Amino acid sequence: QAKYLAQIILVGAQVVGRAFMRALRQELAASRAAADARGRSERPQSAAASRITGISLQEAQQILNVSNLNPEEIQKNYDHLFKVNDKSVGGSFYLQSKVVRAKERLDEELRIQAKDEKEKGQKAET
């Protein structure tokens, strides 16, 4: 009887292990597909900036609650969110760091857009 119990446990562990590995493979494939799609939807420089900062443009816009890349609005929202999340007033250092990363990402996107506009202007002149 112990032999049958050991066989049942062994077979059960194998089934669970296979299901776990299958789910893991599916999750990795879905993650790669999402990353590829995200990379294709953004311009190459913008996608590189997302990878470097670890935050996408859309996520940065959501964190700072901005719909367009208006430097004044970004700065205003950044200042407010940075202050309310200051640890000395009971805020969260984690949230404050997310606000800083979002601002860095949006500043990088503004820099990329300015560079693109400058290059378009130079091409138009020639």
Span 50-71, pLDDT tens digits: 666 678 888 999 999 999 899 9
This prediction has a pTM of: 0.60
**For the segment 2-47, what is each residue's pLDDT rounded down to a tens digit?**
889 999 999 999 999 999 999 999 998 888 777 766 555 556 666 6
Give 52-76 as a DSSP string.
HHTS-HHHHHHHHT-SS--HHHHHH
Whether 99 and 61 have beta carbons less than 8 Å apart is answered as no
CA dihedral 57, 115, 48, 62 (to 10 degrees): -10
Token look-up 């007033």 returns 89
- Structure token pair of residue 5: 């119990």
